[in-house]
Amino acid sequence: MQHSYSAWLGASLFACLPLLGAAQTVEKATAPTTTDAVACALIGQVAINGPDVLSGTNMYYLTPSPGQGTFQDGNVSWSVSPASAFAVYGSTTGNTLLLGPAAGCGSVTGTILVTLPVSYCGDIRMTTFQKTVTVTSGGTPVVRGTYYCTTCADQSVKTLLLDGNTNNVTRYGTYRIDLTSSAAQDTFLAWDKFETAGATLRMVPGTNNHSGLIDLSPNASLAALAGNVTNGCNATRQTFRFSGQLATGYYLVASPNPTTDELTLEEQTALSTSPKAATAPYSAVLYNSQGLPVRSISAGHGKVKMDVRALPAGIYTLRTTTPTATKREQIVIAR
């Protein structure tokens, strides 16, 4: 009897061993502590970086970078709310999103959202992160500009000083002024001219009043212009002045233009009432549309004619050089 009880007890304990092992496995898979859970949440955080106030075109991007293995670019999806407040440029997938304010006037609070798969301690979850921004459209336009002398040997482009400042120039002739503004929807209105003794103003066709030409004569002591621009909500007015001791000189004009057989080259200054024969040495080169010289001429003085009868019809560039000025202009040869 004693032997039978011992055998039964041993068999019972042997049968329970798998159950004890299973219980140990479950115990190892218990949930992480509170500290571990916080660490997992931090691993899964993704920040949207970019300005808090959206008043122009700006790029928003993610941190950490998708390229570091936290997630893949192709699984990133951007959206904005309300959609009517934003102008979205380009793709809404990938590391970055290019945004601007929608056309209109005023300010609104908007939200930028990005959804992507993020690793939480090895568990991949689709997660949405967001950034709240203030979207401002229709602010006061910011005007900038450049200028250069189209009839001078030095045709380097310079920054246009605005806000009533004076741009000092040293040669008389024709100066081109190009204005730009802070937003694509801004519209340039007509320019004004004042204090323009010895200067004239004309707009460049086809530029929507973004560009103008001012002709400065040798006796011009001050030329002042004002450019006006509006974005439909607000308007701004910028004043720019030209002044300086203007060196005398002259440049050449070609006529007629268009022409069929020949060009006549004559002296022209801002003080001249009409072209006249050149009084100093000069040269002229005519280039075709490929930039190759096809005619050239030089003279010590006097009126000169350039024969173009053998040239095919088209648009050419004439470069004339005098001791005080270099000028480029388009010449049309018609047939």
What's the confidence (pLDDT) of residue 333? Answer: 94
SS3 sequence of 122-150: CEEEEEEEEEEEEEEECCCCCEEEEEEEC
Cβ–Cβ < 8 Å for 128, 168: no
| Bigger pLDDT: 29 vs 95 | 95
Q: Is the dihedral of CA 297, 299, 301, 302 positive or negative?
A: negative
The string of pLDDT tens digits covering residues 61-87 is 987 644 444 444 457 899 999 999 999
Question: H or E element: which one contains 167?
Answer: strand 166-168
pLDDT digits (tens, 9 = 90+) for 184-220: 567 888 788 776 666 778 888 888 888 988 877 665 6
- What mean pLDDT do residues 123-127 have? 77
Query: How confident is the model at residue 325, as a pLDDT?
Result: 65
Query: How far is 263 from 198, CA to CA, in rounded Å?
Result: 29
More confident residue, 142 or 219: 142
Give residue for tokens 């203030």.
134
Residue 52 pLDDT > 70 = yes
25-34, 307-316, 321-330: lowest mean pLDDT where? 25-34
Higher pLDDT, 52 or 269: 52
Residue 315 structure tokens: 């648009």
Q: What is the pLDDT of residues 259-279, one digit of tens each?
A: 999 999 887 654 444 455 555
Q: Give 295's pLDDT tier (boundaries 50, 70, 90).
A: very high
Residue range 8-17: average pLDDT? 42
Strands 96-101 and 86-89: antiparallel
Q: For a pLDDT cut of 70, what percent of the chain falls above it?
A: 68
Domains and CATH numbers, the chain: 43-137 (2.60.40.10), 143-243 (2.60.40), 251-333 (2.60.40.1930)
Q: Positive or negative CA dihedral for 33, 35, 36, 38?
A: positive
Cβ pair 191, 212 in contact under 8 A = yes
Distance CA 63, CA 153 (A): 52
pLDDT at 23 over 50: no
Backbone angles phi, psi at 100, to 5 degrees: -150, 170
Kindly write down the DSSP assignment for every residue of 311-332, as one continuous string. Answer: SPSEEEEEEEE-SS-EEEEEEE
156-176 pLDDT, tens digit per residue, is 999 988 877 888 776 777 889
pLDDT of residue 27: 31
Structure token digits, residue 197:
């003794």
Mean pLDDT of the 125-142 span = 86
